[in-house]
Amino acid sequence: MKRITTAFMLWMALLPAMAQLYDATHIKKAVESLKIDTALLAQPGVQYAEVKGQRLVVRTSAAGVVEHIGIPLFTQQMRTLVPSPIYDFLEYATMDHKYHINENTLQLQEVTFSKGSWQQLEQLGDTLPCTIDNIEEKSYKVTWHNDSADIVSVNFPVNYELLANSNRREIEARFVEGLKAYHDTTAVMPLHVDQETLVPTEKEGIYVAEGDSYAIPAINGNIYFIKSKEGVPRPVYDGNYAAESLANLLLAPMPAAEDASIELSVSYCTHRSEKITVALRDFLAFCLQQGCKPFFGYEGTTKGNAMGTLILSNRAAGYNHILHLECPIGSLGGSPLQKASAYIFTPSSNVKNLFADKNTRTKSIVIWK
């Protein structure tokens, strides 16, 4: 018993010295450069520290992974109510500018000031009201102000590598590893709709709740319903309506397909590919959690498979995940295994430019790299 107690006490004493986990290399580099207290990093949630006379914010996940470090510029209330990728980016960039953590300053050159300076930003604090404008999905303008005037205003492009303070290779690897570990615990509830919003389709008895479209009307967020004899609408989900069922499977929670899975063939920017199989609900929930909005375009049937393209658009961060997928028609109505070629973190500008050609067909999306 004494040996066990001694071993346990030794293990506890070594905990602070054990390898700390970081969400990205730039975070690890900052922590090591600024010599942040390891005891602070071990505490889950948001913590504050003063380093070299500057107040810093550190965020650690419940799993013990350090997710963010920077000079605080935004209230936690604003972060919760209006999620955005710009918060972590600007707080880290301001800290990076002050302490010269990274030798490469090209990213910092993307930030320009229409009012104020880096030095004012460093001392701004996280109590002032702030407005964030996404200008035509091309650039951001962030302005802090008091009751009478603007104090600081910065501009920078909508670019996911810039906003993540990482290169595409690291972003892709982080996404896939996060997806493999993710499990959605949300209960799948039956989908209900206001009957007054339903529009008849060209197929008898089939109605659509129209959603937004992406670039062209054929790629959209439409959900399809069929009415029972009593006139109650329920989501379409059977092999007799492949187009509508596949759209519903990908765009709306489907209790009947709770165990559906998807086999992804992921193409990386390094020209390497990897196959992974995950629960469909986990994949969709993981992408939604990161700010993506799904759109689907049906392409027809081939050899008994329903074909289509799913676009998961992250307007705020400036990227899209593109999936060209197929699903056996006979499995629609149950829990199918879908197969998909996935091109992750495709810049939004690439997608917009492709759809600018009115003759482009939906399935051309699969060639993007």
Residues 156, 183, single domain; the answer is no
Residues 173, 244, single domain; the answer is yes
As a whole number, mean pLDDT of residues 78-96 equals 95
Residues with Cβ < 8 Å from 148, sequence gap 6 or more? none
Whole-model pTM: value is 0.86
Residues 199, 343, single domain; the answer is yes
Residues 93, 198, single domain; the answer is no
Residues 236, 290, single domain; the answer is yes
Residues 20, 120, single domain; the answer is yes
Residue with tokens 């009115």: 358
Domain range for 39 is 2-163
Q: What digits encode the pLDDT tens for the residues 207-218?
A: 999 999 998 999
Residues 179, 73, single domain; the answer is no
Residues 123, 179, single domain; the answer is no
Residues 173, 155, single domain; the answer is no
State the chain's mean pLDDT as an integer.
88
Domain count for the chain: 2
As a whole number, mean pLDDT of residues 152-163 equals 96
CA dihedral 117, 128, 66, 265 (to 10 degrees): -80
Residue ending a domain, choose from 113, 132, 163: 163
Q: What digits encode the pLDDT tens for the residues 277-336?
A: 999 999 999 999 999 999 999 999 999 999 999 999 999 999 999 999 999 999 999 999
Residue ending a domain, choose from 109, 130, 163: 163
Q: What are phi and psi of 128, to 5 degrees?
A: -80, 145
Residues 307, 333, single domain; the answer is yes
Residue ending a domain, choose from 163, 188, 219: 163
Residues 145, 221, single domain; the answer is no
Burial class of residue 88 in the structure, from the number of CB atoms within 10 Å of its CB (0-12 exposed, 13-18 middle, 19+ buried): buried
Q: What digits encode the pLDDT tens for the residues 178-191?
A: 999 999 988 888 88
Contact 136, 348 (CB under 8 A): no
Residues 212, 120, single domain; the answer is no
